[in-house]
Structure 1
């Protein structure tokens, strides 16, 4: 005769000791903190505490999903799915990551921080499930990527950064040609340029040109130095870079 559900039911698989529970939560705190330190040192919107909380929360949800409903495991009308709550973390963390992404003109920032929050959630899930080796290796790879590959990317990446420039220039001057010449002098490529006319403010004479540029920056040049040089050109009234007036 076949065995009944009560006979094959092993309650131990749905139970966890206080010591094991504590170890998993503390490990989630440590691993999440290691990644959060790098983000905190870089002055990013999601730093040390945020990454710890995401990792702890993810681990806690897995623990709840696996062991929080043990008293219902023997009920033949109940089917436990330990992965159900954990699966919601992957989609839910997207809302938190979206809050770290900022777009100013064509410049998008915060993508790496959003990705680090997502992978920290994955680390929390693996720790909560007891997959210690996998979570440790994953954390090591993430830390290496954030600390060391960032420098490698800046030094060797062939893709140059893009930046928006908006300038107000006196229409009667030759400032536009001087601006273009100065950008070329710094090795900065102009990928797009739009010139618009604008009536001068009351009390001013003549008209102004609104020049909108999309430029590709060279990592070897400090962009602040370029802006200072452009602002010193005669006829340049104002400059905005990335949405900030300079």
Structure 2
């Protein structure tokens, strides 16, 4: 069996360390909101998903560059990540008593995956914009939803109080 030559990575390679470190920090930050509210998939889950996605991208890009792009398609990475997070998200989402639960948790994990992929690819402008926009949505929209009160009319309900279809 023919294998590719191993890639020598110095244990303090700044580029790899920054890509994985920033992914881990952003994943933990995303999970902090869920953790503080006692929801499923908190800091550890988001941190692991985000840093794993970044690690996967770094590995795929390194292998692609090492092989000269001849024998692989790095875009399959997105297919694999989408399928994996889709399975995890589908397992989280529950429909009970006329309400959908954990949909935001599944979306959070998808966001952590995309942030990890962008960190792994070193797409820093995308990482910065996506981080700011997502953190604003997660925090600001919770405040806006709070104006309608926990028992009152919410953004995701019809005028008669039933969940939207």
Distance in 2 of aligned mates of 1:98 and 1:45: 14
Q: Match for residue 112 of structure 1?
A: 104
1:26 positional shift = 0.3
Name which one, 1 or 2, has greater alpha-carbon Rg: 1
Contact 2:34 2:43 in 1 (8 A): yes
Structure number with the higher helix fraction is 2
Distance 1:131 1:160 in 2: 34
Q: Is the 8 A contact 1:15 1:70 kept in 2?
A: no
**Mapping of residues 176-195 of structure 1, within 5 Å:** 189=160
Task: Give the aligned partner of residue 38 of structure 2.
Answer: 43
Matching residue of 2:125: 133
SS in 2 for 1:68: helix
Distance in 1 (alpha carbons) for counterparts of 2:9 and 2:72: 16
Q: CA deviation at 1:15?
A: 9.2
Structure 2 residue 145 is matched with structure 1 residue 153: yes
Aligned residue pairs total 150
* Counterpart-to-counterpart distance in 1, 2:120 and 2:102: 27
Alignment partner, residue 68 of structure 1: 63
1:10-38 C-alpha deviation (Å, 9 max, x unpaired)? xxxx9987221111000100111111100
How far apart, in 1, do the equivalents of 2:54 and 2:48 lie? 10
The yes-or-no answer on 1:144 pairing with 2:139 is: no
CA RMSD of aligned residues (A): 2.6
Q: Output aligned runs, 1:1-246, within 5 Å.
A: 18-73=13-68, 78-155=70-147, 159=155, 161=157, 189=160, 216=161
Q: Which runs of 4+ in 1 moved over 4 A?
A: 14-17, 156-162
Contact kept in structure 2, 1:36 and 1:52, CA below 8 Å: yes
Mapped to 2, the partners of 1:71 and 1:132 lie a distance apart of 23
- Counterpart CA distance in 1 for 2:58 and 2:81 is 13
The gaps in structure 2 that reach 5 residues or longer are 1-6
Task: Please give the per-residue CA displacement for 1:78-131, whole angstroms capped at 9, x wherever unaligned.
Answer: 333222223310222111112221221211111111111101100101110010
Say if 1:16 and 1:131 are closer, same or farther in 2 by CA, change over 3 A.
farther
What SS class does the counterpart of residue 100 from structure 2 fall into? strand
Identify, as 1 or 2, the structure richer in strand: 1
Q: What is residue 4 of structure 2 aligned with on the other side?
A: none
**Separation of aligned partners in 2, 1:146 and 1:88:** 26
